[in-house]
C-alpha cells in the first residue's frame, strides 16, 4: 500500500467512487439514495462514514458486488492501487453466450428507417410506418 494516502474517516459514496466501483461520485451517491448500497443488511445514506472491516453490498444492475473495507481513501487512485483498499467477495457474474448463440436468443427486428434523400413521408407512408412500429 505504498503511495497510498489513507484517511481516518470518509463518506461511503466517496469511498465507493475512489475504489472505482462507480464511474462518478454522483452515481455512487445516487446508488446510496436508491437503496442499492447496504452495510449489514441496512441501506445507507451517502454521508455515512465507512469503517475498516465493514462488508458492503452494492447492487449494480444484474451484478452484485460484495466488498470488505481494508483501507480508507478519499482520492480516486489507479486500479492497481484501488484493489488494495478492499477485498472482493462478489459472486461470479452471469456468463453471456457469445457469437451465433447470442443472435438466436435475441431476434433482430426489421429496421423502420427510410432511405436518405427520399424526402418527407406522405400521409399514407406515415400511417404505414406507425402501424409497423406499434
Q: Report the pLDDT value the prediction gives residue 30, as an integer from 0 to 100.
A: 96
- pLDDT of 45 > 80? The answer is yes
Cβ–Cβ under 8 Å, residues 46 and 28? yes
Mean of the per-residue pLDDT values of the chain: 86
Claim to verify: residue 24 and residue 53 sit in the same structural domain: yes
C-alpha cell, 11: 463518506
Range of the domain at 125: 100-133
Q: What is the full DSSP assignment across the chain?
A: -TT----S-EEHHHHHHHTTSSSSHHHHHHHHHTT-EEETTEE--TTPEE-TT-EEEEEETTEEEEEEE-----S---HHHHGGGEEE-PPPPPPPP-THHHHHHSPPPPP-PPPTTS-SPPHHHHHHHHHHH-
- pLDDT of 129 > 90? The answer is no
Higher pLDDT, 48 or 105: 48
Has residue 4 been placed in a domain?
Answer: no
Q: Report the pLDDT value the prediction gives residue 1, as an integer from 0 to 100.
A: 53
pLDDT in tens, 18-29: 999 999 999 999
Q: What is the mean pLDDT of residues 50-54?
A: 95
Cβ–Cβ under 8 Å, residues 74 and 82? no
Count up the domains in the chain and report the number.
2
CATH classification at residue 56: 3.10.290.10
Cβ–Cβ under 8 Å, residues 112 and 132? yes
Has residue 95 been placed in a domain?
Answer: no
Has residue 25 been placed in a domain?
Answer: yes
| Whole-number percent of the chain with pLDDT over 90 | 60
Identify the sign of the CA torsion 56, 57, 60, 65: positive
Claim to verify: residue 67 and residue 37 sit in the same structural domain: yes
Claim to verify: residue 20 and residue 72 sit in the same structural domain: yes
pTM of the model: 0.69
Angstrom distance (rounded) from CA 121 to CA 19? 52
Q: Report the pLDDT value the prediction gives residue 50, as an integer from 0 to 100.
A: 95
Q: What is the mean pLDDT of residues 106-124?
A: 74
pLDDT in tens, 68-109: 999 999 999 999 999 999 999 998 877 665 655 555 555 555
Amino acid at each position: 500500500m505504498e503511495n497510498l494516502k489513507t484517511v481516518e474517516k470518509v463518506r461511503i459514496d466517496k469511498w465507493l467512487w475512489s475504489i472505482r466501483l462507480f464511474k462518478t461520485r454522483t452515481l455512487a451517491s445516487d446508488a446510496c439514495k436508491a437503496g442499492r448500497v447496504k452495510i449489514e443488511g441496512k441501506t445507507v445514506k451517502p454521508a455515512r462514514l465507512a469503517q475498516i472491516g465493514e462488508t458492503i453490498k452494492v447492487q449494480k444492475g444484474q451484478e452484485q458486488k460484495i466488498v470488505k473495507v481494508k483501507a480508507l481513501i478519499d482520492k480516486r487512485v489507479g486500479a492497481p492501487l484501488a484493489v488494495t483498499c478492499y477485498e472482493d467477495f462478489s459472486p461470479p457474474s452471469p456468463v453471456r453466450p457469445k457469437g451465433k448463440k447470442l443472435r438466436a436468443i435475441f431476434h433482430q427486428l426489421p429496421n423502420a428507417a427510410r432511405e436518405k434523400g427520399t424526402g418527407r413521408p406522405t400521409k399514407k407512408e406515415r400511417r404505414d410506418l406507425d402501424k409497423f412500429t406499434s
